[in-house]
Structure 1
Amino acid sequence: MKSLLLFLFVSICINVHAQRVVIIGIDGFSTEGFNGSKHPNIDKLFEKGLITLSSRPVIPSVTLPNWTSHLTGQGPEEHGITANNWTLAKHPLQAIETDADGYTPSIFKVLKDKKPDSKTAFYYNWAELINPINKKYLDEVSFEENDKYQNNYAKALKFIGENRNDPTLVFLYSVHVDHAGHGHGWMSPEYVTAIEEVDGEIGNFINQLKEQQLYEDTYFLLLSDHGGIAKGHGGVTMNEMQVPFGITGKKIKNLGKTDAFFNSNRNTSWILAKLFGLKNIPRSWTGIAPTEIFR
């Protein structure tokens, strides 16, 4: 009887924390773009979780500062990345906390430090995106050229399957929506088409996870960095400063489309840390994990 109770206790403890988390990052995907396009696969993915359309980027509403905020739990005033040309070798503002190699601590570092058996992957198609992240905490890194991202989706699927028994964090990013905005204008037909195209790829990705029985134990996040206006961004208009945020998984409330909580891009790593049950968060992380979203 004692052995049975111990087994049940251990089983419950194992299942409290996330088995895997997949971040679907769509650069330049604004709230305006969400409202002005069709995305049935995104809608279906988060129908048992939540989507808010009032999530705020950090300032400036620029790519590298915002994705760094997502992945480090900080704002630019803490992580020191204020522009897209940041490099480890040359930057004017020092981070308030760094690891031994000079990088501000990311969620990948915290996960690896606390759970050494975890697996991490970073898939991207904008070259500068990786610059603020210490690669030694990543098990797989894949860059795809010329705004292509379909091969990275396939690689991510393979990576998840190969590591199905380990805690896994996958960052799956594409810049093509942002580039459609720059090239043709935010809310242009080309911009809307870019959103609807990636929605189809997301649907295929989810269906393959289901076929491989990798869906039920997975948490999914939908993230963006900023919106845009005309053919640019970086300012403080509502077109630039509102983005969708979505999350779904076993411990996430079913709130549907909601404005029941305030959210910032600096909250993402805190949410991920809570999902994985990580403690002793870096002191430089200034975001929060909104309590309203958890069961």
Structure 2
Amino acid sequence: MIRKRNLIVCWSFIWLLGSCSTAKEAPENRVHTKRVVAIGLDGISVDGYKTAKHPNMDSLMADGVLSLTTRNVMPSVTLPNWTSHLTGSGPEQHGVLSNGWTKERVILPSVDNDDDGYYPSIFKILKEAIPKVKSAFYYNWAELINSFNPRYIDEVSFEGNDEYQNNYGKAFDFIVNNKSDPTMVFLYSVHTDHAGHNHGWMSPEYIASIEEVDVHIGQFIRKLKDEGLYKDTHFMFFTDHGGVPEKGHGGITPQELEVPWAITGPGIRKGEMLTEPNNSVNTAMTIAYLFECGNVPLSWTGEVPISIFESQAPKANP
């Protein structure tokens, strides 16, 4: 992986350097994105992903790299993990320790904040690096937005009652309307997690919830292809945790902490499995890398799994 911790040491040589860097410098990029569409499905376990029939996701992943061993952060609950995906940091840095976190209910203060008191997210990094970037956040679990500053997001849309289909339509319209601008879209649904809680992970209802959304993902992808917006888009797929048959998560078992993670698009290796270690905190760093953001906060701990790129094929063992 690319090591990002390029801290400039300022001791007796500060007179020569002039000042200390306050951000991590991204390495020279070999891939540049027009847009990123991040599909987030809550509570998808590796076993659930392997068992469910999802031909549309399979077709999408055939154009990219898939990991079935990506490690999420602890605790294996929803808000801490989605925050980690989109802020390049773990709870130790961003301070989101539970689903009940709000700016007004803080137990562990974050190590870094923007002017409004939010830990810096990928949406902030993109807006500051690329002022004309357009970003959108589509969700159907009300608390999900709590840890992200909406000031840096151009369109925020909440859909209640576990519905998500209208948000898929809104996301498509947003991409078409902003096709001339760099675009970042986060497209999320919680209905898969709720199926696990209500019926049990690996229950027929849980598997059906994955297969159901695959149909809508396929329709979404086909519409983008019809508009000529597929080939220059990077797609990512990730989740926040798995689950155990006893209708729960939050523990430290592999079934809860190891999840699917995938990426496709220009310059990404095709039909490959990611073999290097990967973590949810790498998601935002990878997005920043794709958009060629020059700097990310020093507080971010994520790294880029560089072997996902065609130009970085793994070296043969001696």
Q: Which residue of 1 aligns with 2:290?
A: 275
Alignment of 1:240-255 (within 5 A): 240-255=256-271
The alignment partner of 2:297 has SS state of coil
Deviations 1:93-126 (A, max 9, x none): 1000000110000000000001000000000000
What amino acid maps onto 1:147 in structure 2? D
Pick from 112, 136, 139: which aligns with 2:127? 112
Answer whether contact 2:34 2:183 (CA < 8 A) is retained: yes
Q: Which residue of 1 aligns with 2:178?
A: 163
Q: Are 1:209 and 2:224 matched, yes or no?
A: yes
Q: Which residue of 1 aligns with 2:210?
A: 195
Q: Which residue of 1 aligns with 2:140?
A: 125
Alignment of 1:47-86 (within 5 A): 47-86=62-101
Answer whether contact 2:274 2:308 (CA < 8 A) is retained: no
Q: Which residue of 1 aligns with 2:9?
A: none
Alignment TM-score, normalising by the size of structure 1 = 0.93
Q: Which residue of 2 aligns with 1:234?
A: 250
Answer whether contact 2:85 2:283 (CA < 8 A) is retained: yes
The alignment partner of 1:239 has SS state of helix
Matched length: 280
Deviations 1:113-145 (A, max 9, x none): 010000000000000000000000000000000
Q: Name structure 2 gaps, 5 residues minimum.
A: 1-29, 311-318
Deviations 1:6-31 (A, max 9, x none): xxxxxxxxx95210000000000110
Once residues 205 and 259 of structure 1 are traced to their aligned partners in structure 2, the CA distance between those partners, rounded to angstroms, is: 25
Alignment TM-score, normalising by the size of structure 2 = 0.87
In the TM superposition, what is the alpha-carbon distance from 1:152 to its structure 2 partner?
0.1
In the TM superposition, what is the alpha-carbon distance from 1:46 to its structure 2 partner?
1.3
Answer whether contact 2:65 2:274 (CA < 8 A) is retained: no
Once residues 226 and 22 of structure 1 are traced to their aligned partners in structure 2, the CA distance between those partners, rounded to angstroms, is: 20
Structure 1 segments of 4+ aligned residues over 4 angstroms from their partners:
none
In the TM superposition, what is the alpha-carbon distance from 1:255 to its structure 2 partner?
4.3
What amino acid maps onto 2:254 in structure 1? M
Once residues 42 and 292 of structure 1 are traced to their aligned partners in structure 2, the CA distance between those partners, rounded to angstroms, is: 21
What amino acid maps onto 1:212 in structure 2? E
Once residues 280 and 259 of structure 1 are traced to their aligned partners in structure 2, the CA distance between those partners, rounded to angstroms, is: 26
Q: Which residue of 1 aligns with 2:169?
A: 154
Q: Which residue of 2 aligns with 1:4?
A: none
The alignment partner of 1:18 has SS state of coil
Once residues 239 and 31 of structure 2 are traced to their aligned partners in structure 1, the CA distance between those partners, rounded to angstroms, is: 27
Q: Are 1:137 and 2:162 matched, yes or no?
A: no
Once residues 69 and 132 of structure 2 are traced to their aligned partners in structure 1, the CA distance between those partners, rounded to angstroms, is: 36
Deviations 1:206-229 (A, max 9, x none): 000011111111000001000001
Alignment root-mean-square deviation, CA: 1.0
Identity of aligned residues (%): 57
Once residues 218 and 106 of structure 1 are traced to their aligned partners in structure 2, the CA distance between those partners, rounded to angstroms, is: 21
The alignment partner of 1:85 has SS state of coil
Q: Which residue of 1 aligns with 2:24?
A: none
Deviations 1:25-56 (A, max 9, x none): 00001101011111110010010211111011
Q: Name structure 1 gaps, 5 residues minimum.
A: 1-14
Q: Which residue of 1 aligns with 2:14?
A: none
The alignment partner of 2:196 has SS state of helix
Once residues 287 and 211 of structure 1 are traced to their aligned partners in structure 2, the CA distance between those partners, rounded to angstroms, is: 35
Deviations 1:176-232 (A, max 9, x none): 000000000000000000000011110000000011111111000001000001200
